Structure 1
Amino acid sequence: MMTTPSVDPAHDILRYDYTPLQPFFAPRRVAVIGATEKPNSVGRTLLWNLVSSPFGGTVFPVNPKRSSVLGIKAYTDILSIPEQIDLAVIAIPAPRVLSAVQQCIQAGVRGAIIISAGFKEIGEAGQQLEQEILQTARQGNLRIIGPNCLGLMCPPYGLNTTFASTMARPGNVGFLSQSGALCTSILDWSLRENVGFSAFVSIGSMLDISWGDLIYHLGDDPHTHSIVIYMEAIGDARSFLSAAREVALSKPIIVIKGGRTQEAAKAAASHTGSLMGSDDVLDAAFRRCGVLRVNTIDELFNMAEVLAKQPRPQGNRLTIVTNAGGPGVLATDSLIRGGGHLTPLAPETHQALDNCLPTEWSHHNPIDILGDATPERYAQALQIAAQDPGSDGLLVILTPQAMTDPRQTAQTLIQTAQGITHKPLLASWMGGEDVAAGEALLNQAGLFTLPYPDTAAQVFNLMSQYSYRLRSLYETPVIENAETLDRQRMEQILVDATACDRTLLSEWESKQFLQSYGIPTVLSHLAQTPEQAVAFAETLGYPVVLKLHSHTITHKTDVGGVHLNLPNAAAVQAAFTSIQQNMQPYGKQAFLGVTVQPMLNHEGYELILGSSSDPQFGPIILFGLGGQLVEVFQDRALGLPPLNSTLARRLMEQTKIYQALQGVRGHQSVNLDQLEQILVKFSHLIVEYPQIKEIDINPLLVSEHHIVALDARIILYPQAEKQPIRTAIRPYPSQYVHQWTMGHGWPVTIRPIRPEDEPLIVQFHQNLSEESVYFRYFHLMKLQTRVSHERLTRICFVDYDREIALVAEYRDPQSLDHQILGVARLSKLHGTQSAEFGILIQDQFQGQGLGTELLKSLLQIGEVEGLEAIKADILPDNRAMQSLCKKMGFQLKHQGDSIEAIHQKLPTSVNLSGLNC
């Protein structure tokens, strides 16, 4: 059972010619509402920029007081224009914008750019006006860029809908900015530096069209090779992350963020909250979606250019070839400070260099080939260095010396570089006029050059960071063992807390949650009298620990609520009395007894694992060095839930303590695999219980022998507080999992796909016939291509927000092996409430009703997700799929070489009797 072709086999997504933002980037008829002849006005500049740039369309001024503007016939309003308008550019006072938007809707306009200011930036009245405009636009299917923006340029087509003084040069960088003032500065800089753009967009306050919409558009734009963003606020976090994650693998996304030194208010009662700044959370979000963050405008465009010209490095080891020692040292310092490493030269590399270089060469990396280096010596050294298996990138440095020929060396380098395609090659031709001719040759040949070697090393570090982030996203994670959760026990704890109108769970209650998710905790007993405490201590064996049991005290150590290493019954009784007395100033509810725990050997490392909520991204995970001095050392990393095993390991790797966890100074490594799975389970706990506002496990004691949570603390959202912020990454949609029985009696599980399914998908493709492949993709595709890791990562790593794939999984009762029998995919079309579907069933399992069940499931998902239409293209020879679509209520229409099937009214229920596919 197959349908829906894929132009890009790596995506399995059909690309339609029309895109939702086409009216903005390729309009045929543009109206300027507020066009005027007043000198130096926005309305006049907008009109002049449009008519003076040959974008191939027609411009219509709208001004009720003039019959013409700049010699062009004007219209009293947009409804008076006799032709269909694609794009309206609105530059009138804010109070009149709502009326103009209403007229645009009546005229059938599909896109509007609101240049006007005077909205939410002026206060509550402006914000209310914005919302009225947005509500009106959505009812009329009108998309809006702005308000309070500069406009946009599409240089490849000559379109300029801005009031900037000049037009950007055509190029392959898509530039998006929240600041109109920065846009004009960047424009001036780009003209001076000869940087060109495929799109140049000022998005203003993002009333409607957001980062996600524009990233999707530029991701599909063939003129755009990289995307650079100046960001002040992220807006819809889930939309941004979903779009960036999809596009970043094929086109680099580089962001510079303004206001990064401002931190959000910190939760004083929470270790996790006190360690979370809003800027750190944004860094974590960028890492999660493969976006590279930089600190300067130079880095922004350097990275856009180099990532478009050079392959990504596979690691962080750089080989430096130079004709002077000093610049090599400067490059090395910059490399090491930025987290990179020098390539240790392999013995064969060292021997080959000995054979071709003077005996005085440096004999290590940086490879100093001496000041009298000829072009041929450069070429020989570079060829040898490029073959070193430990090298991830190359930097060639030239300083102008008396014996140096910068131009000829550049020509030789260009020829040598043609054979180096698997790792990046950077060049630093140092100097001014002496090296200008050689530098120009390198740039013309597509080699990336920088004037200073330390900057070049910094660029390499950024490249390796970007490559590392992408690999982190698309490494196949380890399959985790499913835990049987005692949800009844956890729900009862929440009910009890809610009934008492309390938000703080006791340590004992908090540990019940951890235990239910398979996170090991130290055995604890509740004691309300000294006698009970002694009895439990006798059972556990001395020494023991007594901790305060309270529903109101947050940090027990700070108030004398913890007594350690108690050796006998007398010490236990004394500790109980001491804790009880220490709580008297805090009221009767502060003391509810104590917990009795064994005194564990604290040999190992104290870690912290916690979660707190960010106002933009929702729950955030914190991992790092814990203990009482956690805020002092601040060795921590932040991540967005949910995690899988790969993401959990990457989170651990960001901390300094991770090196110690691997084993140092005679200590064995801790069980990193177990720790990894604890992070995964912890992330699931956070996602599945949104009532949890904050959670700390501090310390989480880890050693080569055990991992155990010694203390835990959970705070719930108050009942009166608004609904908690949703997770920025949509969690696994377990609500779409169901059991079903095939026609021949096999029980299968139909569920959303997971990244861990990649090996099963490989097996699935090995059992497909050429006809099945042809019907699905509209062309034959070799098995090697279909099962390549890069392709399968895009298939298995879906975000469940814009795209969802279902698999039908069968488990053999004898061998217990798992097998995927069929796959169905639903992909939402960018900027619409429509989606396309595709279904592929193994040949031997066709005709058992599986295709029917999968399509039924997709339709039901579409209804739940609020889709307005589901469609697919089907080959004329694929009659089985056509028959199924007809019976499921699809309308079929011939379109050239294919048949379009579309379902525009998603049913609440589907009668499946008699269908067999």
Structure 2
Amino acid sequence: MQADPAHNILRYDRQPLTPFFAPKTVAVIGATEKPGSVGRTVLWNLIGSPFGGTVFPVNPKWHQVLGIKSYPAIAEIPEPVELAVIAVPAQSVPGVIRECALAGVKAAIILSAGFKEIGASGIQLEAEVLAAARQGNLRIIGPNCLGLMCPTSGLNATFAGRMARRGHVGFISQSGALCTSILDWSDRENVGFSAFISIGSMLDVNWGHLIDYLGDDPETHSIVIYMESIGDARSFLSAAREVALSKPIIVLKAGRTKAAAQAAASHTGALTGSDDVLDAAFRRCGVLRVDNINDLFNMAEILAKQPRPQGKRLTILTNAGGPGVLATDALIRGGGELAPLAAETITALDQILPPHWSHQNPIDILGDATPERYAQSLAIAAQDPNSDGLLVILTPQSMTDPTQTAEQLEAIAAQIPGKPLLACWMGGQDVAPGELLLNQAGIFTFPYPDTATQVFNWMWRYHYSLQALYETPVLAVNEKCSFDQACQLPQTVRNAGRTLLSEFESKQLLAVYDIPTVPTRIAASQDEAIEIAEQLGYPIVLKLHSYTITHKTDVGGVKLNLANAEAVGIAYQQIQSGVAAADFLGVTVQPMVSLEGYELILGSSPDPQFGSVLLFGTGGQLVEIFQDRSLGLPPLNTTLARRMMEQTRIYEALKGVRGRHSVDLVALEQLLVRFSQLIANHPEIKELDINPLLVSEQQMIALDARVVLYEASVDLALLPKPAIRPYPSQYIAPWQTSQGLSVTIRPIRPEDEPLMVQFHQTLSEESVYFRYCHMIKLQTRVAHDRLTRICFVDYDREMALVVEALDPETGEKQVLGVGRLSKFHGRNEAELGILVSDRYQLQGMGTELLRRLVQVGKAEGLERITADILPDNTIMQRVCTKVGFQLQRSADLIRAEMVC
């Protein structure tokens, strides 16, 4: 049927943003000859750049502008207009947009200011503009923006003073003023652009739309972004994750201070700042965040030219000790490591270097190093299996030849296998010719060694983030347990007018998700507490049972290590006397658990942009003091859970330290996954803390838990939706084939990669050819990078259903068929594909998959579903007709189409 969804690059003629970047006709509404005006500058820039289209000025007060006939209204232009650039006062924009929509204009850039940045009246104007645009399917960039340039075609639809250089960097900025500064800077630094976009206040077109477009653009090799606000978080993360797999995305985000109000009652809330959450979101989708403009473009160029380091170990080669020490300090401070030299590397270097070389990393080849010595040393160091990257430092000493050394390195660079090579040529103008040679060879050079190692640290972190998108996670255990009880409990409490679950209720909720808790019982009297204690066995813990008090330790509501009935009775009285009668409902009684192990915190709190945010780290009473934590976005899989753990200092201890054995890290991963499922399944939960979560070699148990719900008056539909769409379990359903085989049809999961490998081994060449319209070898179809994209789908963009059954001989799970809906970028339409194992064809499976996909498409609000079918694939044609698709025949393909 259609092309491989893992490599389905949308053609430009089907991209709805194409009129912004390649318009055949442009109207400048508000064009004028007034010197210094925006309307005049935009018109001049358009006619002064050979983009190949026709420009029409629109202004009822002028008969011609800059020698070009002017029209009183866009409806008067004799040709269809694809792009309108609007430079009129804000109050006039809604009417102009209505006229554009009626005239069939496809895209508009609103340069005008005076919208939401001025307050309520501007917000109302934006609402009117958007409503008018929606009536005509008109897309908008802006308002309050500089416009956009497409240097590859010559289009300059801005009021900037100069045209950007042509290159391969796609640049998007929220700040128009910064755009003009970047243009000046890029001219000096010889940085070129494939697209240069000022996005403004993102009334319509947002980060995600533009990332999708630039991801499809063959002229764009990397994407750099200056961001002030993220806007639609899910759209950004969804697009960035897809594109980051093939093109680096680097972001400079303004504002690293904590701006979000913190919930005083929540440990998790106190540890979570909006900027920290943004960092976690960037890591989740493979985006690299930097701190200044130089780094923004440097990283774009380096990541586009150099291979990514597979780890954090760097080999430093230098002709002077001091710069090597500076480089080492910066490397270690940034989290990198010096690569230990292998024995064979030291032996090989001994053969070519003077006796007094450093014999360790950094490799000091001494001040009299010749170009040949540099080249030979680099060739040896590059082969060291312990090294993930190389940095060559040159200081201009009397016997140093920077230019010839650069020539030697250029020849060696092509032979270095899959490792980045960076260079630091110190010395200003004396080393400039050598720097030029290195840069032309794709070897990025730096003036200072600490800057070079900082960049290396960013490179391996970027690779570290991308790895999470490629690694195959392990399926969390107990994933099929029923969550009916869990779904009812929080909502029942919320309906009763309470927002705080008692400790007992909280532990009930955790237990449903198989998160181990201490056996806990409620006692409403002193005698009942003693009776329960006798049953459980001493020592005993008593805790305040209350629906209103948040932190029990603050009011003396926790009594530990009670050894007998008398101690239990006294503790009960003390807890009761320490709080008001209205807050006291009794106590919880639980056995005293050995505190041998590590105290962790696991929590969730809301973020205004990203919805619920997960927290993992060092717990206990001093949790806010230590602030050893990492953040993540639900839902997690085991790979993402491990990444959260790795980002904390406590993780090193969890692996085993000073004679202690490692905790069960696999079980801890799966516990985090189940916790994230809990959060994803319960939007009514505002905050949840498990503190402490006690872990050791022998046990893993939640000693205390606190769950806060949103008030019943809060409309959950109006809360920030999760930044990552959870697993769509509503599409799981059983089915039976015509041969009586019971199967489950469900959405695909990242953990399905091994099953997909086995599935592809069952396919005939004919089935493969009919599905992909060309032959793909088995080795290619089951390659890890390809299957990662197929299994680790974004459910907002794709929906793949697999048919799962148990192998009757082995009892193991197997995939028998796959159906997929892939949405087109920027359009509410999708393309479908179906593939069934040869052994299970002609049993109704393809028809059922197609019916299910149509149901999913309608539920997801799609407007149209299409498929391209080979003329020889008569079975698929009959299936499509049976389900209600219309077939249109052409010479090469048959198009199946359904309007949902």
- TM class, shorter-length: over 0.9
Which residue number in structure 2 is paired with residue 265 of structure 1? 261
Which residue number in structure 2 is paired with residue 791 of structure 1? 786
Take 1:331 and 1:195, find their aligned partners in 2: how far apart are those partners? Answer: 27
Which residue number in structure 2 is paired with residue 829 of structure 1? 824
Displacement of 1:777? 1.6
Which residue number in structure 2 is paired with residue 692 of structure 1? 685
Which residue number in structure 2 is paired with residue 459 of structure 1? 455
The alignment partner of 1:872 has SS state of: strand
Aligned counterpart for 1:608 among listed residues 592, 596, 601: 601
Displacement of 1:324? 1.1
Displacement of 1:814? 4.8
Take 1:226 and 1:167, find their aligned partners in 2: how far apart are those partners? Answer: 20
The alignment partner of 1:748 has SS state of: strand
Displacement of 1:17? 3.8
Which residue number in structure 2 is paired with residue 743 of structure 1? 738
The alignment partner of 1:358 has SS state of: coil
Which residue number in structure 1 is paired with residue 115 of structure 2? 119
Displacement of 1:847? 1.0
Which residue number in structure 2 is paired with residue 911 of structure 1? none
The alignment partner of 1:117 has SS state of: coil
Aligned counterpart for 2:360 among listed residues 360, 364, 370: 364
Which residue number in structure 1 is paired with residue 3 of structure 2? 5
Contact 1:483–1:518 under 8 Å retained in 2:
no
Contact 1:775–1:875 under 8 Å retained in 2:
yes
Q: Does 1:657 align with 2:655?
A: no
Displacement of 1:899? 2.0
Aligned counterpart for 1:598 among listed residues 585, 591, 601: 591
Aligned counterpart for 2:75 among listed residues 61, 76, 79: 79
- State the one-letter code of the partner of 1:292: L
The alignment partner of 1:156 has SS state of: coil
Aligned counterpart for 2:223 among listed residues 220, 227, 233: 227
Percent identity over the alignment is: 69
User: 1:107-166: per-residue Cα shift (whole Å, max 9, x none)?
Assistant: 111000000011111111110110111122112100000000000000111000010000
Take 1:491 and 1:390, find their aligned partners in 2: how far apart are those partners? Answer: 50
Which residue number in structure 2 is paired with residue 471 of structure 1? 467
Aligned counterpart for 1:347 among listed residues 300, 325, 343: 343
> CA, structure 1 residues 867+98, in 2 after alignment: closer, same or farther (shift >3 Å)?
same
> CA, structure 1 residues 658+463, in 2 after alignment: closer, same or farther (shift >3 Å)?
same
Q: Does 1:820 align with 2:815?
A: yes
> CA, structure 1 residues 126+732, in 2 after alignment: closer, same or farther (shift >3 Å)?
same
Contact 1:825–1:838 under 8 Å retained in 2:
yes
Q: Give 5+ residue unaligned stretches, structure 2.
A: none
Which residue number in structure 2 is paired with residue 759 of structure 1? 754
User: 1:787-816: per-residue Cα shift (whole Å, max 9, x none)?
Assistant: 111111000000100111111111124522
User: 1:329-351: per-residue Cα shift (whole Å, max 9, x none)?
Assistant: 11111111110001000111111
Contact 1:212–1:239 under 8 Å retained in 2:
yes
The alignment partner of 2:7 has SS state of: coil
Contact 2:26–2:54 under 8 Å retained in 1:
yes
> CA, structure 1 residues 860+528, in 2 after alignment: closer, same or farther (shift >3 Å)?
same
> CA, structure 1 residues 820+483, in 2 after alignment: closer, same or farther (shift >3 Å)?
closer
User: 1:584-607: per-residue Cα shift (whole Å, max 9, x none)?
Assistant: 2xxx33100000111111111111
The alignment partner of 2:790 has SS state of: helix
Aligned counterpart for 1:856 among listed residues 851, 856, 880: 851
User: 1:634-663: per-residue Cα shift (whole Å, max 9, x none)?
Assistant: 000000000000100000000000001111
Q: Which residues in structure 2 correspond to 1:145-160 (within 5 Å)?
A: 145-160=141-156
Take 2:758 and 2:491, find their aligned partners in 1: how far apart are those partners? Answer: 46
Contact 1:328–1:453 under 8 Å retained in 2:
yes
Take 1:378 and 1:777, find their aligned partners in 2: how far apart are those partners? Answer: 50
Q: Does 1:624 align with 2:599?
A: no
Displacement of 1:536? 1.0
Which residue number in structure 1 is paired with residue 21 of structure 2? 25
Take 1:377 and 1:897, find their aligned partners in 2: how far apart are those partners? Answer: 61
Contact 1:311–1:421 under 8 Å retained in 2:
no
- State the one-letter code of the partner of 1:4: Q
- State the one-letter code of the partner of 1:789: H
Take 1:477 and 1:146, find their aligned partners in 2: how far apart are those partners? Answer: 40
User: 1:845-897: per-residue Cα shift (whole Å, max 9, x none)?
Assistant: 11111111111111001100111100111112212112222222222223452
Displacement of 1:237? 0.7
Contact 2:9–2:216 under 8 Å retained in 1:
no
The alignment partner of 2:659 has SS state of: coil
Q: Which residues in structure 2 correspond to 1:713-724 (within 5 Å)?
A: 713-723=706-716, 724=719
Take 2:752 and 2:184, find their aligned partners in 1: how far apart are those partners? Answer: 49
Take 2:824 and 2:53, find their aligned partners in 1: how far apart are those partners? Answer: 27
Take 1:485 and 1:777, find their aligned partners in 2: how far apart are those partners? Answer: 37
The alignment partner of 1:667 has SS state of: coil
Take 1:831 and 1:489, find their aligned partners in 2: how far apart are those partners? Answer: 40
Q: Which residues in structure 2 correspond to 1:237-252 (within 5 Å)?
A: 237-252=233-248
Take 1:720 and 1:814, find their aligned partners in 2: how far apart are those partners? Answer: 54
Displacement of 1:12? 4.8
Which residue number in structure 2 is paired with residue 318 of structure 1? 314
- State the one-letter code of the partner of 2:508: Q
User: 1:284-314: per-residue Cα shift (whole Å, max 9, x none)?
Assistant: 1111111111111111111000000001110
Take 1:766 and 1:616, find their aligned partners in 2: how far apart are those partners? Answer: 43
Displacement of 1:841? 1.2
User: 1:348-381: per-residue Cα shift (whole Å, max 9, x none)?
Assistant: 1111111111111110011111111111111111
Take 1:128 and 1:745, find their aligned partners in 2: how far apart are those partners? Answer: 60
Q: Which residues in structure 2 correspond to 1:160-309 (within 5 Å)?
A: 160-309=156-305
Take 1:663 and 1:166, find their aligned partners in 2: how far apart are those partners? Answer: 60
User: 1:25-81: per-residue Cα shift (whole Å, max 9, x none)?
Assistant: 000100000001111111111000101111111100001001000001100010000
Which residue number in structure 1 is paired with residue 839 of structure 2? 844
The alignment partner of 1:390 has SS state of: coil
Contact 1:551–1:589 under 8 Å retained in 2:
no
> CA, structure 1 residues 595+178, in 2 after alignment: closer, same or farther (shift >3 Å)?
same
User: 1:194-214: per-residue Cα shift (whole Å, max 9, x none)?
Assistant: 000001000000000000000
Which residue number in structure 1 is paired with residue 633 of structure 2? 640
Number of equivalences? 898
Which residue number in structure 2 is paired with residue 682 of structure 1? 675
Which residue number in structure 1 is paired with residue 555 of structure 2? 559
Displacement of 1:484? 5.4
Q: Give 5+ residue unaligned stretches, structure 1.
A: 907-917
Take 1:896 and 1:312, find their aligned partners in 2: how far apart are those partners? Answer: 45
Take 2:552 and 2:847, find their aligned partners in 1: how far apart are those partners? Answer: 58
Q: Does 1:711 align with 2:721?
A: no
Contact 1:314–1:467 under 8 Å retained in 2:
yes
Take 1:252 and 1:192, find their aligned partners in 2: how far apart are those partners? Answer: 23
> CA, structure 1 residues 781+489, in 2 after alignment: closer, same or farther (shift >3 Å)?
closer
Take 2:158 and 2:654, find their aligned partners in 1: how far apart are those partners? Answer: 55
Contact 2:634–2:680 under 8 Å retained in 1:
yes
Take 2:363 and 2:666, find their aligned partners in 1: how far apart are those partners? Answer: 39
- State the one-letter code of the partner of 2:752: D
- State the one-letter code of the partner of 2:762: N
Displacement of 1:490? 3.1
- Identify which range, 515-524 or 257-266, moves more after superposition: 257-266
TM-score by length of 2: 0.99
Take 1:551 and 1:848, find their aligned partners in 2: how far apart are those partners? Answer: 56
Contact 2:542–2:572 under 8 Å retained in 1:
yes
User: 1:84-124: per-residue Cα shift (whole Å, max 9, x none)?
Assistant: 10100001001110111011111111000000011111111
Contact 1:29–1:84 under 8 Å retained in 2:
yes
The alignment partner of 2:14 has SS state of: coil
- Identify which range, 276-285 or 717-726, moves more after superposition: 717-726
Aligned counterpart for 1:534 among listed residues 527, 530, 536: 530
> CA, structure 1 residues 492+400, in 2 after alignment: closer, same or farther (shift >3 Å)?
closer
Which residue number in structure 2 is paired with residue 730 of structure 1? 725
Q: Does 1:70 align with 2:66?
A: yes
- State the one-letter code of the partner of 1:611: S
